Structures are given as structure tokens and as C-alpha cells.
Structure 1
């Protein structure tokens, strides 16, 4: 009976699959960077148009995860792992992945995933009931057989469904690349990388190995797509040189930001004076508290491109985070101007204005930060800084509202609800901020109720 109890526990665990499988999205941290987000949006724009989705409704989100992955998890948002950017050699390869993920969105696969999980759970529940019934009748072996058969059928059905989805999405991605006039070479080369990765990890490429997989074999995907894409008129289309240069820079920047400084400096030695190498080293030196070297790299980048807002942002960030906020104001103000007040860059500028501890700068900080959160409400850092400004000026109700905005995005729902209620009580009745405090309170309350329902 101990074995039977174990099987029943495993069957019950399978019932929770649909609840568990999407949790990593919430658990992983999101990376926000103005330059990288602009690049991803520009890479996706022609593909979104070819897919006939509304451009403004598709969101690209960068995830701080070193694995090679991208996924869709509800709505029209594509999550791209930092590891995928690092593994890709070209912007065209990333576009191949984005085209594939757009196929998931247009086919509504996240919704259908939920439907299929329910079907698989139905098979498991039925086998579980049969097994329990047999056990109560004293037929322990029959009970085990019923439960094991049910588990195998449920998992096989679910995996086959997922493989079919992935195969059809590959074809949809190929259509979007063709419609956008973008070569499919990158899609092919990236799938070949995945195949080589599988081989190095010891994953079998035999046909019988596909049964237990969530995705089709990479070799099969490459063969199918190559036949299709090589016939497309866009196959020989040259890569976008400007997009590729931006990709190489963003990739180096991301590497310097995420990797250990010693690894970055080994991969981008000082003898390499290219812009991507300087970009990576600047972040490595900054992480290693070697401020003079970080500033030297930033100045070398600005000598090459004085009006590059991202290089100016880098210099301002190094100065600000090394305790020199007054010196950071000029490059950050210029970066904000050149980027047309990009919310992320403006948020750092607002932080620098506050960090000077000069009350004469607080009015400008409030103006800059209010504009930043108006364009991008999902910016907890800017909300926090805005709350600091309000608190310094004695506007406690609006400081509590800004804190509530930040807390709800950080999933600290009890504190968010408390701050939203306090803000609502202190704000003018019927004012826009009063209404917003109600909205935040409703959101926090709804999230708390959802968490209670899961228990």
C-alpha cells in the first residue's frame, strides 16, 4: 500500500501542473534597460506588422536568466531570457526566435495550453478514481495499474499536444519572417545551435526520444524549416547592418552588466578598443568599484559618439552610483533630452537630482519623475524616487500613493493596500490621485484574495 499511496500522491501532483508551470514568470527578475528594450522592439516591429497584431499591444520583456529560452505566458508579451541574447550571434537569429513566439500569440496557445492541461487532468482524475476504487475493493495491483496507465496517458497526451503546437508555431514564424522581408537564415542557425547544445548534453536525437519531449527534435525542425525558408524570396536578403551593430553593443553591455568582472575582462581584454568591448568593460569596472577605469571607458565611448544617450546614461550612472550626484547631472540631463525623456533614463536623472540633497533640485525632480511614471507606470524605481520627493516636501498622501504603486509592482500587497488606503484618506476627494489610490487598493485587494484562494 505504500507504493499505492506514492502513486496517488504523484497523480495528485500532476493535477497541480497548470498552477506550477507558469510560476517561474513571477519568480524571475525582469531586467529594464532603455537601449535593450528599444532594440528588441525595433527587431520585432516588422514581424509584428507581418503577423497583423497591433504593434502597441505586443510587449518585449527581458528576463534575468542565463538559460537559452524565450516564451509567451499570457496576453501579448514575449519574455526573452538574457541567456538567449548571449547565445545569439546576430540580430537575425533573435528575430527568428521572436517570429516563433509571435506564432504562439496569434494561435492563442497560452489559452489552449490551459484547456489541454484540463483535458490531461481529466484523464488523471478518472484513472485516480478507478485506482482508488480498485484499492478499496482489495485489488492493489489493479489499482496501481490504473493509476500508472492514467498518468502515462495524461503526460503523453499533454506532451504530444505541446509538440504539435511548437511545430505549427515554427511554420507561423517562417510566414512572419517572409512577410517582413527578413531572411530565415537566423532561425535556421539558431535551431542548429540548439541541436548542438542537445547533443553536447547527451539528449538523444533518435525518433523514439521525441515521445517524452515538450518540443520536436531540433534536427527535425531544422530540416523542415530549411526546405521552407530556402525557397522564400527573403532568404538571401542581407542582414540589417545598423540593427546588427546595435545588437552587438547591447549584447556586450548585457554581458558586462551580468557576468563576473573577471570573466568580462577576460572576454573583452583592454587590447580590444572596439565600442562593444569598451561598453562591456565599463560595466565590469563599475561593478568592481574601479571608478576611474569605468569613467575612462565611458569617456572613450563619448569621444566616438558624443550625442549617444546611452553612453551619456552610462557615465551618469557611474558618477551617481560612486557618490558624485552633482557631477552626474550634466550627462544624465543630456541623456534625458536626447532620448526624448525615456522613462528609464529620466528615472535615473530624477534620482540624481534627489541625491544632490539640494532642495532647489526637487521641483525639477518631481517634474521629471511624474513625466516618467506617466509614460511608464510599471517603473517601481521611479515611483520610489517620486515618493521620496513628496515626503521631502511634506506631501505625505502622495508619498503614500507613490509607495503603494511601487509596492504593488513588487508583490508586497498588504503594504500596498495599507499605503493606498492611507493615500486615499488624505487626498482631495474625487481628484485624479484619489481615484488612482482607489485603483491601486482594488488591485492589491484582488491579488490578496487570489493568493488566499490558492491556499
Structure 2
């Protein structure tokens, strides 16, 4: 499942599918990255015990969510863990998704991305050496008038490239097997079942992407399904935790997040098919509420939210949705009370603090500007890659009359969005008005002094 690096079968050239800048909108390869406090909190709770078992520091790994219906998760260069929304939606239990995350943690802990790069470089070198030798032989054969020698030289070129490719694919298969074994170890060490992992890999085996029919096993980057499943099944059933079930509260959270993602990413037919009106469960109500909001029925969505809030008055994400609907319909004053409750019930969420700060600024009330600055500053400290948060912070400072700090916030926002030239311009202007050596001056100086890394 690890697809952070892809090797081209034609020329063994290295292609990075993840080249993430501070920008949050769209990556160069069209991946649609999304942010959601509820989903991210759930995934963090899933990976925390796995990371602990693996000896991986959570703070060193960046989590990214991708709006993609395919069941996939992978690691990318730079300690990045990427999870498709499809992997969450299609996992019926937390344990199914946890098994996938444990596998990817095996890649992280083993630093497989770095090692794979080294193997690619080695394979490219071997292929190049072989190609040079083959070309030399072909030229010599042509010069001597020997067509057989010239053809032999061409064969050397093709053969060296194919040998290098097979060597690299063999290495990738060994990494995948190692990640499977590591995942089983982490699950056992953290007292969790590998049954969900087995269920997931059986699903992969049924997928044509992993079909073994008519496929040369030496030309695959992943182990063949039966070989893989046999290993997982044997180890999973040997664990004393094989029949351990997910806690009911965790299953409930999982079901809510699945419904939320379907509500926000699915079309109306899909939502109603998965969560018909006859389904009165909270996840179904949640999905239909979001569907109403997305289809322009803001008042209907708010009415439906009232029912959800009566059922779970301390659910921060119901209050967040209420605030989001009000804010996006130009009613910032009505958004603030709900967002204050969202922050109170989920005080560790930087994203919720940023949304509250944004709403407070949008009210235009000078009396709440200090509260806005406080929430935005703390929220951005915890979650620094949210450009809209810096724009709101700049407006809050401007309302205060603190233009230097407004310029600094603008510079930070442009930097987070990857607009380095504009970021440097605003940071330079901020520096000129800030006390030299102060924390704010130093933050501006970091931006002014920043040199983007050259690609490659």
C-alpha cells in the first residue's frame, strides 16, 4: 500500500507522488487535501498507541487527509502519513482501519521511503552502467560490420534495465512483507486485534489491483495476495488479542466520521442510499444534515442539527457544524456561541479555535477582538498550516491598530500558502516596525531569510 514513491517500469526513473509544500489547497498531482477536526482527532487516537508500540514520535509525523474514494493509505517522503477518505468510509470497524495504519507505521518506523530512494538510485546506476556498456558494444559491432554484435549490444541495454527493475521490485516486496510483520507486532504490543487487518487485506486480494491471475510475481511491487494473507492470518490468530473487539464508544465515533465524510464528499443519491430516511441512527441523521446544508437548505440543516444537539449536547463537532453553517451564510454573530461551545468541548483542537477566531473577527465587534487574537494565536500555534487563520489574525490586529503585527500575520499566511515572494515582502515591512530581536521580529526574520529548497 505504500505509494509514496513510484518506480517507472519503462526507465526506472524516480517519480515522487507527494511533493508537499506548506500550501493546503491542491498539490501538483491534483490530490485534494482536506482538513477536518473530527476526522483528524479520530485518526490521531487510532495511531497514538501504534506509534508508541513502534517507537515513532507522533510530533514527527504529519497527517494528511485526501478526498479520494479509493481504499488506500500510504507514507510519503518526509515522515508524512496520507489517508484517503475512502479508507475511512469503507472500514466498517475501527480495527480495519487501524490495521492499515499499523502497516503504514511499519514503513515509517523502518524508514522505507529513504531506503527505497537509495535502492532506486542504485538501480538507476546499475541500469546506466549496463546501458553504457551495451551502447559501446553496439557501436563497436556496427563499426566492425557485425550485425550480431550490434544486436548483442542492444540486448545488453535492455537486459540491464530489466535486471535493475526486477531487483528494485524485489526489494519493494520485501519491504511490504516487513511492514506487514511490523504491523502485527505493533497490534499485539498495543493489545489490539489483527482481525481487521486480515479483513482489509482479504478485501485487497479480491480487488483486481491485487489479483494474481496471469501476473508474473517477479514484476510486482507488493507480495502476491495469498502469500501475504497466509502470513497475516497465521500471526493474527496466534495473538491473544485476536477476538478483542473495538470499544463501543470508539465504534460510535468511527461511524459518525464515516457518515460525515459521506455527507461532505458524496452526491445526494449516494448519501440517501447509504443513509435513507428510514435510518434514524445518529450517523444517518448527521449525514443527511450535512447533505441538506451542502444542497443549499441551511435552515433545514440547522433544524436537523437541533435534534442532534438534543441527543448529544456536548458533541463539539455538532456545534462546529452549526457555527460553520451560520458563518458561511453571513451570520457570524450567530456562529460565535456554538463555536465557543465547540472549543470548550474540544479544547485541544487548533482548527476549532481558528474557526472561532475567524467568526469573532467577522462580527466586526471591537469588543471581541482580544478573544479573536487569543484563539487565533493559540490555534495557529497548534496548527500552523492554515492560511485563512492568518488572514483573520491580520484583520484582528488591524482592528486593534497594530499594523506591524497585521503585516507579520499576513506574511505567515502567505508563507503557509507557499507564496514566498509575497510572504517576504510583508515580513520585511513588519520587521521595519517591530523591535529588533523581539519574538515577532525573529518570526519575520525567519520568513525574510527563508530559501525554498530546489526540487529534485
TM-score with structure 2 setting the length? 0.89
* CA-to-aligned-CA distance 1:133-191 (integer Å, 9 cap, x gap): 24544365344322211221121111110011001110110011111110110000000
Aligned position for 1:293: 300
Map residues 11-26 of structure 1 onto 2, 5 A cutoff.
14=11, 16-17=13-14, 19-23=15-19, 26=27
SS across alignment from 1:366: helix
How far apart are the structure 2 equivalents of 1:427 and 1:246? 46
Is 1:186 paired with 2:193?
no
Evaluate the alpha carbon distance shift between residue 356 and residue 152 of structure 1 in structure 2; reply closer, same or farther with a 3 A threshold: same
How far apart are the structure 2 equivalents of 1:21 and 1:153? 24
Is 1:358 paired with 2:365?
yes
Aligned position for 1:5: none
* CA-to-aligned-CA distance 1:232-272 (integer Å, 9 cap, x gap): 11111122221111111011101111122332233222222
Evaluate the alpha carbon distance shift between residue 391 and residue 150 of structure 1 in structure 2; reply closer, same or farther with a 3 A threshold: farther
Is 1:116 paired with 2:119?
yes
How far apart are the structure 1 equivalents of 2:407 and 2:267? 37
For the 8 Å contact 1:11–1:151, the answer to whether it is kept is no
Which structure's relative contact order is higher, taking Cα pairs within 8 Å and 6+ residues apart?
Answer: 2
* CA-to-aligned-CA distance 1:349-373 (integer Å, 9 cap, x gap): 1111122222333222112111211
* CA-to-aligned-CA distance 1:19-59 (integer Å, 9 cap, x gap): 53444895434322111111111111222222233344444
Aligned position for 1:388: 395
Give the drift of 1:314: 0.8
Is 1:236 paired with 2:236?
no
Aligned position for 2:24: none
Q: Which consecutive residues of structure 1, in runs of 5 or more, have no partner in the other structure?
A: 1-9
Query: Structure 1: which 4+ aligned runs deviate by more than 6 Å?
Result: 10-13
The CA RMSD over aligned residues, in Å, is 2.3
Aligned position for 1:153: 163
For the 8 Å contact 2:380–2:389, the answer to whether it is kept is yes
Is 1:90 paired with 2:93?
yes
For the 8 Å contact 1:90–1:247, the answer to whether it is kept is yes
Map residues 50-89 of structure 1 onto 2, 5 A cutoff.
50-89=53-92
Evaluate the alpha carbon distance shift between residue 156 and residue 65 of structure 1 in structure 2; reply closer, same or farther with a 3 A threshold: same
SS across alignment from 1:430: coil
Paired residues, what number? 436
How far apart are the structure 2 equivalents of 1:352 and 1:304? 26
How far apart are the structure 2 equivalents of 1:283 and 1:86? 15
Q: Which moved more, 1:371-380 or 1:21-30?
A: 21-30
Say which of 174, 192, 198 aligns to 1:164: 174
Aligned position for 2:432: 425
TM-score with structure 1 setting the length? 0.89
How far apart are the structure 2 equivalents of 1:174 and 1:392? 55
How far apart are the structure 2 equivalents of 1:218 and 1:390? 58
Q: Which moved more, 1:393-402 or 1:131-140?
A: 131-140
Q: Which consecutive residues of structure 2, in runs of 5 or more, have no partner in the other structure?
A: 1-6, 22-26, 143-148
Is 1:312 paired with 2:319?
yes
How far apart are the structure 2 equivalents of 1:12 and 1:271? 50
For the 8 Å contact 1:86–1:251, the answer to whether it is kept is yes
Is 1:31 paired with 2:37?
no
Aligned position for 1:446: 452
How far apart are the structure 1 equivalents of 2:13 and 2:443? 36
Is 1:277 paired with 2:280?
no
Q: Which moved more, 1:135-144 or 1:237-246?
A: 135-144
* CA-to-aligned-CA distance 1:277-325 (integer Å, 9 cap, x gap): 1111122111111112211221111010111111111111111112211
